[in-house]
Amino acid sequence: MPLFARKPAPRTDRQRRARRRKTQQWRESVKRVGVPPLIIEAVSTLPRLRDASQQLLYGVAWLAWVSDERARQHKSAPDAFWVHHEELNALFGQSRFSAVNSQFSILAIAGGAKPGEARAYRLESDIDEVVTAALRAANQAVDRTVVLLPDDWHLAVRARPAIERDSLSDSSIWRATRIGLPVPVPGLDLLAALDDWLARADAAGMCAREGLLREVQVEPHAALTHLRQYLERFRWRLHSELPGRGYYTSTYRQTDTGRLQEVGYGLQGAQRVIKHVALHGFWSYDMSAAHISILRYLAATVGVAAEAAIDYSEHKVDRRREVHERTGVPRDIVKRGFTAMGYGSRQWDGDEDDDGDSITTELVRRYGELKGRDLAAAFWTDSYVKYFSNNYARVGHMVVKALSRGRWLRNAAGLVYNVRKRKEHGKKKDTWATRLAFILQGLEARALHAVVTAYPNEMLVLEHDGWTSRSPMNMEAVERVIEKALGFPLQLKSERISAPAILLHRTIKGSNAEAA
């Protein structure tokens, strides 16, 4: 420490207790993630780890298993992930990871961390290779087996996926909810065909790769490494969790806003192409522009005219197309931009403590620093985007002020906005935007809760603002259920889930060849 540097102030008892609680939470997160024995056996075959202790082997296997979770993808380093230091302490011993990593070469540092940002890691290539090879071999060993079709789902052993009870508060609307849904995935052959197709695209040149990815409805700039690893882990779950094969058990945790978040490698957090292949033939339902529609009705209750929300709700397809034509930003990112603004997102102001807005981050990831930032600037300076952002911010401020009692705020999911707990979970900001998101997501959760309660036997996969069902549902009846729960209507949209045609064709062709 420099001679004249100011000494840090001693921690108070309250700060010490908060730090101990946070440390315990991270250490318990290690226990919640079950590592398959298959992964432990795979890493133990590496020459440098053959004589390692069971604790060390488990730690290496744990890192390999969680390295591709979407929630752990690092924002600054592509194909890298982050790990909390308390997780490393729980796995390898207090402050011992650096020495263990130097001796056994487990993780490679993928870049220096910015202030307030976690360090980026990558698995050493040989660990990644043996784990991927083990998963691939296990998946191939059980492919082409007899699969229970959706119509015969009741013949399988029924799982009892649940909401983890320790994630619920006493006042949560989900506390009394029991969800008993096995998730059938009839397209095992389709998932294997998707894996082969992605491997072919990964090995192809840039031009051929873009064409191959478009045929299976994957964006050309997708991170194929993460996509393929997630697919491998999801396929492994299908073959290992239930004896009927082709089913997996889903467990959800409630977030601090009331939303349900699936634990592990499931379909809620999977990329779109994996969902469409795995759930081919089922039905997807979504609350159309839910957050914007909800704000529209909230604004009316507090006597504010939400012109931007009304205009976008009624003309969203035209407005997205117009912004795309004026700015050159892809339509999927334009749609994502309006969704982000609906939760209070604004253009990044250069603050180093902030991670940046999601639109700029995604455009930079796809197109590189120069072109990405030019497209982001064009998006945020577009006349309609500025109008929508400013009007939405004004209305959002007034709604939050009207629904708050000073600093106290409870949402429709029965949860209280807790600034202290948010800081413990690493959420530093407390702004009108975070409070507005808390209100909107609570109402989304209440709408989903009403549907799950009314139609428990139809539910397959729960999303934040939608769900997947076994069969087509009466949309008018479902909308009435939502309106009764919220006090105002929300519009639903539905589609029959379909895998990419090229994969269906290849799977049918392969089945016919085997039959011949």
Could you tell me which residues come within 8 angstroms of residue 216 by beta carbon, excluding any fewer than 6 positions away? 194, 197, 198, 273, 500, 502, 503
- pLDDT at position 378: 92
Report the C-alpha gap between 255 and 265 in whole angstroms: 17
- pLDDT at position 145: 35
Q: What is the mean pLDDT of residues 152-169?
A: 44
Nearest CA to 202 out of 180, 226, 171, 177 is that of: 226
Residue with more model confidence, 353 or 203 = 203
Q: Distances from the Cα of 349 to the Cαs of 77, 177, 346, 364, 380, in angstroms?
A: 21, 42, 9, 16, 12
Whether the predicted pLDDT of 357 surpasses 60: yes
Is residue 258 within 8 A of residue 485, CB to CB? The reply is: no
Q: What is the mean pLDDT of residues 113-133?
A: 81
Helix (H, G, I), strand (E, B) or coil at 115: coil
- pLDDT at position 146: 33
Whether the predicted pLDDT of 202 surpasses 70: yes
Q: What sign results for the dihedral spanned by CA atoms 61, 62, 68, 73?
A: negative
Could you tell me which residues come within 8 angstroms of residue 303 by beta carbon, excluding any fewer than 6 positions away? none
Could you tell me which residues come within 8 angstroms of residue 411 by beta carbon, excluding any fewer than 6 positions away? 257, 258, 417, 438, 439, 441, 442, 443
* Confidence category of residue 155, pLDDT binned at 50, 70, 90: very low
CB-side exposure of 470: number of CA atoms within 13 Å?
15
- pLDDT at position 447: 93
Whether the predicted pLDDT of 396 surpasses 50: yes
Domain ranges of the chain: 23-126, 143-281+499-515, 290-496
- pLDDT at position 168: 59
Residue with more model confidence, 186 or 488 = 488
- pTM of the complete model beyond 0.75: no
Q: What sign results for the dihedral spanned by CA atoms 100, 103, 109, 113?
A: positive
- pLDDT at position 384: 92
Sort 236 into a burial class: Cβ within 10 Å, 0-12 / 13-18 / 19+: buried
- pLDDT at position 158: 35
Report the C-alpha gap between 380 and 334 in whole angstroms: 10
Cβ atoms within 10 Å, residue 164 = 12
Whether the predicted pLDDT of 283 surpasses 90: yes
∠ CA 29-31-32, nearest 5°, is 65
Question: Please, what is the average pLDDT of the chain?
Answer: 79
Residue with more model confidence, 287 or 72 = 287
Q: Distances from the Cα of 297 to the Cαs of 159, 287, 290, 291, 488, in angstroms?
A: 39, 15, 11, 10, 7
- pLDDT at position 159: 35
- pLDDT at position 179: 53
Sort 191 into a burial class: Cβ within 10 Å, 0-12 / 13-18 / 19+: buried
- pLDDT at position 164: 53
* Confidence category of residue 12, pLDDT binned at 50, 70, 90: confident
* Confidence category of residue 144, pLDDT binned at 50, 70, 90: very low
* Confidence category of residue 481, pLDDT binned at 50, 70, 90: very high
- pLDDT at position 483: 92
Q: Dihedral angle at the C-alpha atoms of 149, 150, 156, 159, nearest 10 degrees?
A: 140
Q: Tokens for 485, please give them.
A: 């729960």
Residue with more model confidence, 58 or 116 = 58
Whether the predicted pLDDT of 261 surpasses 70: yes
- Amino acid occupying residue 255: T
Q: Which tens digits make up the pLDDT trace of 409-467?
A: 888 888 888 777 666 666 667 788 888 888 999 999 999 989 988 887 788 888 988 99
Whether the predicted pLDDT of 182 surpasses 50: yes
Residue with more model confidence, 71 or 231 = 231
Report the C-alpha gap between 40 and 170 in whole angstroms: 38
Is residue 344 within 8 A of residue 431, CB to CB? The reply is: yes
The distance from CA 434 to its chain's CA centroid, rounded to whole angstroms, is 18
Q: What is the mean pLDDT of residues 235-261?
A: 75
- pLDDT at position 346: 66
- pLDDT at position 370: 87
* Confidence category of residue 150, pLDDT binned at 50, 70, 90: very low
Q: What sign results for the dihedral spanned by CA atoms 217, 220, 226, 232?
A: positive
Q: Tokens for 66, please give them.
A: 């969680």
- pLDDT at position 372: 87
Is residue 237 within 8 A of residue 265, CB to CB? The reply is: yes
Radius of gyration of the chain (CA): 24
The distance from CA 192 to its chain's CA centroid, rounded to whole angstroms, is 23
Name the maximum alpha-carbon separation found in the chain. Answer: 84
- pLDDT at position 323: 93
